[in-house]
Amino acid sequence: MSSKLPPLSSLRVFEAAARYCSFTRASEELGMTQAAVSYQIKILEERVGTPLFLRRPRQVSLTETGERLAPVVSEAFELLRGAFAVAEDASQGLLSITTVNTFAANFLAERIGRFQFKYEDLAVRLDTSPGIIDFAREEFDLAIRAGRGNWPGLETHLLVPAEFSPMLSPELAASIGGIKQPSDLLKLPFIDPSDPWWKIWFDAMDTSSDELKCKPRSRMGTQTLEAKAAEAGQGVAILTPAFYRDSLNRGRLIQPFERVCHDGFGYWLVYPKARRNVPKIRKFRDWILLEIKEHYEREEIAITERRETDAIVY
């Protein structure tokens, strides 16, 4: 199918040497010594079976064969150069992120616009899917996943620790005269009584929760629906407060107890270690870590404010 190609390294040298008609000049462009150029040309000439350059006194010139070869080699290299320049650009121009739904809905969706505004030449593809992701197997630059952050070979940044605390609508709380102590919650319906987080939280509050039977695994990632149900006053949910600051501030949900628990899980930004310095990856990483930082700074303030308000309400 294909006659064997000459050594490719010698071709690159030939291309440059032919352009300049000078081994010395070519060696400068290629960042090597003149001796190396001379050597490579010799290799190529031996391979082709005929001289490619005529050694004139103070310059070399192409032989007939060299003259025919040079433009084709140049063209081929131009093709490659073009293709790779585009490929590198293109690969830098699209940032594809896969994220678990909870994080997308409660944090990323409302902020990603700012990222796109800041980096206008960077298109963002946002994919929402659960489960783990194998970067060797799927075309994503970044992933946001829930877990403990122990993924080998991947760079990880904790975005939001999966803290949790019971939440409910103010109306539901008022229906039983307010929530004064943890056991009050047990008078109300639970939106997902099987969530293991309940036990952890009640244990931390030294309150028995035997009547709830927990599932073995937490179901992080489905908080969005539970939150909607809680807002609608259908019961008490155990949620990650950081994701619902807005609802709390607007009074659509209340978090009756400051106490948050957490089980070591969290939402992580992950990507292959080897790609940590790819520009678009760096851009997103730096941006989101700053957003997170600011978010928590504002949350500090919000909590203090609510505490004061709550003191009035209850």
Partner DNA sequence: ACTATGCATAAGGAGATTTAATGTATTATG
Partner DNA sequence: CATAATACATTAAATCTCCTTATGCATAGT
On the CB side of 78, how many CA atoms lie within 13 Å of its CA? 7
Q: Considering the complex, what minimum distance in angstroms separates the CB of residue 124 from a second copy?
A: 15
For 45, residues 6+ apart whose C-beta sits below 8 A from its C-beta are: 51, 52, 53
Q: What is the DSSP track for 146-159?
A: EE-S--TTEEEEEE
- Structure-block tokens of residue 55: 């050694």
Residues 139-168, one symbol each (x = binds a second copy by CB under 8 A, - = not), give x-----------------------------
Q: Considering the complex, what minimum distance in angstroms separates the CB of residue 7 from a second copy?
A: 9
DSSP 108: I
Q: Is 90 in the site for a second copy (CB under 8 A)?
A: yes
Q: Which stretches of the chain bind DNA, using CB under 7 A? A: 7, 9-10, 13, 21-25, 27, 31-36, 38-43, 53, 55, 57-60, 136, 153
Using alpha carbons, select from 119, 123, 118, 144 the residue that is nearest to residue 243: 144
Residue type, 252: R
What residues from 21 to 60 belong to the interface with a second copy (CB under 8 A)?
46, 48-51, 54-56
Give which of DNA, a second copy, none residue 23 binds (C-beta under 5 to 8 Å, depending on kind). DNA
Q: Is 138 in the site for a second copy (CB under 8 A)?
A: yes
**Which of 59, 63, 101, 128 touches a second copy (CB under 8 A)?**
63
Q: Considering the complex, what minimum distance in angstroms separates the CB of residue 47 from DNA?
A: 10
Q: Is 87 in the site for a second copy (CB under 8 A)?
A: yes
| Measured distance CA(198)–CA(209) in Å, rounded | 8
